[in-house]
């Protein structure tokens, strides 16, 4: 079980993902060096990760995992699928939503295809950074259920990083407990007493586009040259 560090129990909203990323980078200030990689979960998580990586002087990369939405509410995660195809389910939410085996199989197939689509676009711009022997910091813009982060951590662990950290601006209690067993440490800036949607903890929370992701990756590619 990884150590969970919460900096504040607060409902205060971040201005935007960029501000959240800068705060996160400062909170991670003790983790520096050439062997540190900050990996954002596209799309929004990559915006946060870019700011954190800049402050840490670390390489930036992405890690692809996708939420499995419920039958009647796609925003409610019944689980997630990793880049390697492993499916993680929250059995309580599955039972509550009535998601059957056939639905889950089809949803996993659909999200796996989206991972493949994104990989095809994004990896042309920025080749993957090997994680073996490095400190890998997985970043998202917030955790409601933690399913997507759980899948990302599982994927990253297969590469045998020397240390695996999950770092987020805001999360629910349940999400932090869920992911702690998949990493060495969890850093969360703000833990609200009541958690609704991730977007409610940002004053500006527009959808991040593929084009914005490509631009971030292009900037990182140019920085490495």
For residue 213, give its domain range.
3-64+128-224
Inside any domain, residue 217: yes
Inside any domain, residue 177: yes
Q: What are phi and psi of 138, to 5 degrees?
A: -95, 125
Tell me the CA distances in angstroms from 116 to 3, 32, 38, 55, one per residue in order: 33, 32, 21, 30
Inside any domain, residue 196: yes
Checking if the pLDDT of 193 tops 90, the result is yes
The confidence score (pLDDT) of residue 159 equals 93
Checking if the pLDDT of 84 tops 90, the result is no
CATH of the domain at 180: 3.40.50.2020
Inside any domain, residue 195: yes
Helices (H), 91-191: 91-97, 101-122, 147-157, 173-180
Confidence of residue 196 (pLDDT cuts 50, 70, 90): confident
Six-digit token string for 146: 């933690």
Inside any domain, residue 115: no
* CA separation for the pair 82, 148 (Å, rounded): 8
Tens-place pLDDT, residues 131-162: 999 999 999 999 999 999 999 999 999 999 99
Inside any domain, residue 97: no
| Average pLDDT score over residue span 107-118 | 95
User: How many domains is the chain built from?
Assistant: 1
Q: Could you tell me which residues are beta bridge partners of residue 61?
A: 39
Inside any domain, residue 35: yes
Inside any domain, residue 38: yes
């Amino acid at each position: 079980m990884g150590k969970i560090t919460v900096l504040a129990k607060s409902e205060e909203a971040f201005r935007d993902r960029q501000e959240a990323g800068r705060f996160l980078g400062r909170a991670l200030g003790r983790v520096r060096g050439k062997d540190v990689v900050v990996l954002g979960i596209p799309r929004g998580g990559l915006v946060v990760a870019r700011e954190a990586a800049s402050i840490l002087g670390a390489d930036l990369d992405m890690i692809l995992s996708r939420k499995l939405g419920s039958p009647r509410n796609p925003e409610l995660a019944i689980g997630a699928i990793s880049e390697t195809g492993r499916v993680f389910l929250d059995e309580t939410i599955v039972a509550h939503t009535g998601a059957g085996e056939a639905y889950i199989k089809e949803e996993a197939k659909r999200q796996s295809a989206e991972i493949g689509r994104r990989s095809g676009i994004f990896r042309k711009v920025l080749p993957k950074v090997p994680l073996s022997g490095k400190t890998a910091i997985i970043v998202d813009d917030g955790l409601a259920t933690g399913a997507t982060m759980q899948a990302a951590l599982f994927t990253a662990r297969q590469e045998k990083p020397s240390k695996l950290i999950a770092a987020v601006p805001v999360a629910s209690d349940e999400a932090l407990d869920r992911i702690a067993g998949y990493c060495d440490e969890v850093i969360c800036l703000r833990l609200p007493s009541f958690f609704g949607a991730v977007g409610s903890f940002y004053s500006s929370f527009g959808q991040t586009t593929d084009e914005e992701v490509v631009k971030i990756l292009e900037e990182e590619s140019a920085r490495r040259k």
